[in-house]
Structure 1
Amino acid sequence: MNLSIKIFIALVLAAVVGVAAGPEGLPFIKWWIAPIGTIFINLIKMMIVPVVFTSLVVGMTSLGDTKTLGRIGIKTVLIYLVTTAVAIVIGFGVASFGHPGTGIQLAADATVTVKEAPSVMQVLVNMVPTNPVQSMAKAEILPVIMFAIFIGYGIIEVGGKKAELLMVVFDAAAEVCYKIIAAIMKVSPIGVFALLLPVVAANGPKVLLPLISVIACMAVGSIIHVVGVYSTIASVGAHISPAKFFRGMAEAMLIAFSTCSSAGTLPVNMKNLQEKLGCSREVTSFVLPLGATINMDGTALYMGVCSLFIANVFGVDLSVQQMLMIVFTGTLASIGTAGVPGAGLIMLAMVLQSVGLPIEGLALVAGIDRVLDMFRTCLNITGDAAVALAIDRTEHHKVVA
C-alpha cells in the first residue's frame, strides 16, 4: 500500500477513535498514545538541521557561482511575497461569502499573550549567527541557512582538489540524511495517528461547533489557493500537471497537516520534491529552507478569514481601505515574523492593531488555533514546493510531463 494512503487511513482512524473516545478518554490517550506522536515529531526534528545544512552546502557548491545564487534568491522572495498577498485576498473573499462569526455572541473571557513581533531589521540581524553551533542546537533555521551559505561560498572560492574533497563529504552526509528520513517515514502512519488522536479527543464536535464557520472558511480558502494558485504555478511555471504535482506532494502535505510544523516537514518535502517531482537538489536545498521560514501563505489566508470573523463578532464593518491595509501589513509581517514561534498569532495581532480591530478577538480563535494550524502548515509547505519547481524550471529549462 502506498505510504500516503497509509497516512490518510491513519488520519481517518484518529478522527473516528478520537470522537468515540471524547474528553473522557483523553487522560488515557495523553498518557499512553500522545508520547508516541511526540517521539515521531522528535525523530523528524532530529533531521532538520543536518539535512538543511548539508543539502544547502551541496546546493550552493553545485550552483558554482554566487551570481546564480543571488538571482535565485531574488526570484524566490518575490514570488513568495506575491503568493502571500494573493492568499490574504482569497481569505477575504471566502470569509466575505461565508460570513463567519455573524450572529455569534462569544465572550472573549480568555486572554492570549502574544510575543512582540521583531522588526524586519532585527530579523536581518538575527540571521547572522554569533555562534553557528548554538544556532544549530536551538534549530534556528535562518542562522543555519546563513552559515551554510558562507560555507558553500568558501568552498567555491577555494576550488581545486581541496574543494572537491569537501563537496564529496557534504554530498555523502546529505545522502545519509535522506536515508534516515526514509526510515523515519516508514513509521509515519503510526506517528500521525498518535499525534491527531489527542487533538480530536480534546476538540470534539461540541467544542468546535460554535466556530465551525471559521474552520470551514479556512478549509475552503486553502483548497481554492492550492488548486487555483499552486496548480497554476506548477503547470505554467514548471510544466508539471496538477495531478502529478499533488501525487508527488501527498506524503509531505499529510505530514504537514498532522504535525503542524513547516520545519518538521522540511526533510520530507525536500526528499519528495527531488525523488518524485524531479526538482534539482541545488534549487530544492535553497528555496525550501527559505520558504519554511518566510513563506506563510497559509498564515496569510488565516489572517484574512480571522480578521473578518473578529470584525463580524464585534460588529465592525471593514472598509476597502482597511482590507488593503491588512493585505499590506500581512505581506510584510510574513517576513517580519520569520522563524518566530507562534508566528500565526503574532501576525494576526499585528493585523488587528493596524486596522483598529479589538485585540481581544485573538482569544476567540486561540481555542481552535491547533485545528486551523493544520490547514496553514499544509498550505505553507505546498507553496514552498510549487515555487521551488517553478524556480528550477527557469534555471534549468526542464520540461516535465
Structure 2
Amino acid sequence: MSIWPRLYSTATGLVLGVLLALLWPAGAVWVGWLGEIFLSLLKVLILPLILVSIYLALARGVDLARLGGRTLGFYLLTSGFAAISGTLLGLLFARGVAPGLLELEPIAGDRQVFGAGFSLEQLIANLVPSNLFASLSEGNILHIVVLAIFAALAARGLEPTPRQQLLKGAEAVNALLMRMLATLLAVAPIGIAALVYASLATMDWAGVLVLQPFVWAVALAVALHALLFLPALLWLGSRRHPWPFFIQVRAALATALATASSAATYPVSKQTLEQNAGVSPATTSFSLPLGATLNMDGSALYQSILLLFMAQLAGAEVSLWQALMIVLLTMASSAGTAGIPGGGIAMMAFMLDLLGLPPTYLALYLVVDRFFDYPITALNVWGDLVVAALVDQSEGT
C-alpha cells in the first residue's frame, strides 16, 4: 500500500510534462526554471553523498577487494552484452539506410587523427585526483570515489578515539544529507514535470525521425536489454522478481528519464534501493558511484548502433575487426572520457577516426543525442540498480 501513492505521484509528473509539451509547448519557457532548480539541488548533493557514504562503508570494515571485484565483474558483463547486442543490431538495421541519405561529407581520402580525448594519460588523469577543489568544482565522481577510498583505508590505521570521532561525524553528515534528499524528493513530481515539459517542447523531432531504421534499432536494443537481459540476470543472480523490484526503484528511473543524468540520479537511486528494495548502504555506497561513471549499458549499445549507421551513410564497409573495436571502445568510453567537457563527443570523434569517417559526422550525433539521451540514461541507471541488487545478494547482506 505504501508504494503505490508514490508511484502515482512520480508517474503523474512524467505524464503531466508530456501532456503540457504536446498541448502547450510555448509555455515551457515559463516553468522550465522549476526543473532547473530541482536538478541543481539534486546535483549539489551528489559529491558529498558519495564521499561520506563510501567513507562510512569502508571505514566500518567492508571488504573492498571482494565488493569491488564483484561490482566490476557485473558491470563488465552488462556493458559487454549491451555493446555486443548494439553492434549486431546496428549491422542488421543499418543495411536499410541508403548511403548519402543526409548528404553528409563522404569518406575522407586521408584519415585525420583527432581522437586525442581518449588516451592512457587521460584515463589516469580521470582516475587519480591531483587537486581536491578542482575535482569538486568539475564534479568528477571518479576522483571523489578514489579520494573516499583512500581516506577510509587510511582511517583504519588511526587510534580508536579519532577513528570513532571521524565515523560519528560522517554518520551525522550522512543523516543530514539524506534528510535534505527526502525533503527534495517530496516535491520531485513538480521538478520532473517541469524538466520533461521543457525538454520535449523544444525537441527537434523531424531531425530524428529522418532515420527511422536507426530509431527502431535503438528501440529494439533498449527493449531487449531492459526488458529481457537485465530482468533475467536479476532473477538468476538474486532470485528477485523483476516487476516488484522495478516498482521499488521507479523513482530513480523516473528521475533519470527526466534529468538525462546518471550522476544527478545517484542520490535518488541510493535512497530507493536502501529504503524500498532493502539493499545495504555498504553496497549502494560503492556500486552506485562506480556505476554512474563506469557502467553505461545504454550508452554502449546506442553508440555502437550510431557508429554503424554513420558508416552506412558514408558507404563504408565495416570489417569484423572494426566491429570488435567498436564493442571494446564503447565499453571503455565512459572510463576514458570521464570528467572531460563534452566527453561523449570526444569518444565519438575517436571512433569515427577509427572507421575512417570525417568529423562532420559528429553533426548527426548532436542531432540524435538530444532525443535519445533521456531513455539511454534511464537504461544506464536501470543497469546500475540491477547490479547493486546482484552485488548485495552475492555479499549475503
Give me the whole-angstrom Cα distance separating, in 2, the residues matched to 1:356 and 1:81. Answer: 28
Cα 1:331–1:205 change in 2 (3 A) is: closer
Cα 1:140–1:325 change in 2 (3 A) is: closer
Structure 2: runs of 5 or more not aligned: 106-113
Give me the whole-angstrom Cα distance separating, in 2, the residues matched to 1:341 and 1:280. Answer: 33
In the TM superposition, 1:343-362 aligns within 5 A as 343-362=343-362
Give me the whole-angstrom Cα distance separating, in 1, the residues matched to 2:137 and 2:358. Answer: 38
Structure 1 residue 95: Cα displacement: 3.1
Aligned-partner residue type, residue 44 of structure 2: M
Aligned twin of 1:36: 34
Cα 1:116–1:10 change in 2 (3 A) is: farther
Structure 1: runs of 5 or more not aligned: none
Conserved 8 A contact 1:329-1:354? no
Give me the whole-angstrom Cα distance separating, in 2, the residues matched to 1:319 and 1:174. Answer: 51
In the TM superposition, 1:98-117 aligns within 5 A as 98-99=93-94, 102-103=97-98, 105-108=101-104, 116-117=116-117
Farther off after superposition, 44-53 or 348-357: 348-357
The alignment of Structure 1 onto Structure 2 pairs a total of residues equal to 385
Aligned-partner residue type, residue 324 of structure 1: L
Structure 1 residue 311: Cα displacement: 2.1
Given the alignment of the two structures, is residue 16 of structure 1 paired with residue 19 of structure 2, yes or no?
yes
In the TM superposition, 1:137-176 aligns within 5 A as 137-176=137-176
TM-score by length of 2: 0.89
1:164-191 CA distance string (max 9 Å, x none): 2221221121122111111111211111
Cα 1:347–1:80 change in 2 (3 A) is: farther
Given the alignment of the two structures, is residue 377 of structure 1 paired with residue 372 of structure 2, yes or no?
no
Helix, strand or coil at the partner of 1:163 = helix
Aligned twin of 1:3: 6
- Percent identity over the alignment? 31
Aligned-partner residue type, residue 94 of structure 1: L
Aligned twin of 1:279: 279
TM-score by length of 1: 0.88
Aligned twin of 2:109: none
1:63-94 CA distance string (max 9 Å, x none): 35xxx202222332233223222111221233
Aligned twin of 2:214: 214
Conserved 8 A contact 1:91-1:305? yes
In the TM superposition, 1:89-100 aligns within 5 A as 89-99=84-94
Aligned-partner residue type, residue 9 of structure 1: T
Helix, strand or coil at the partner of 1:157 = coil
Aligned twin of 1:180: 180
Aligned-partner residue type, residue 10 of structure 2: I
Aligned twin of 1:366: 366
Farther off after superposition, 201-210 or 68-77: 201-210
Given the alignment of the two structures, is residue 73 of structure 1 paired with residue 73 of structure 2, yes or no?
no
Helix, strand or coil at the partner of 1:356 = coil
Aligned twin of 2:237: 237
Aligned-partner residue type, residue 105 of structure 1: L
Aligned twin of 1:291: 291
Given the alignment of the two structures, is residue 87 of structure 1 paired with residue 82 of structure 2, yes or no?
yes
Aligned-partner residue type, residue 74 of structure 1: G
Structure 1 residue 149: Cα displacement: 1.2
Cα 1:105–1:280 change in 2 (3 A) is: same
Aligned-partner residue type, residue 145 of structure 2: I
Cα 1:341–1:239 change in 2 (3 A) is: farther
Give me the whole-angstrom Cα distance separating, in 2, the residues matched to 1:205 and 1:126. Answer: 35
Farther off after superposition, 358-367 or 371-380: 358-367
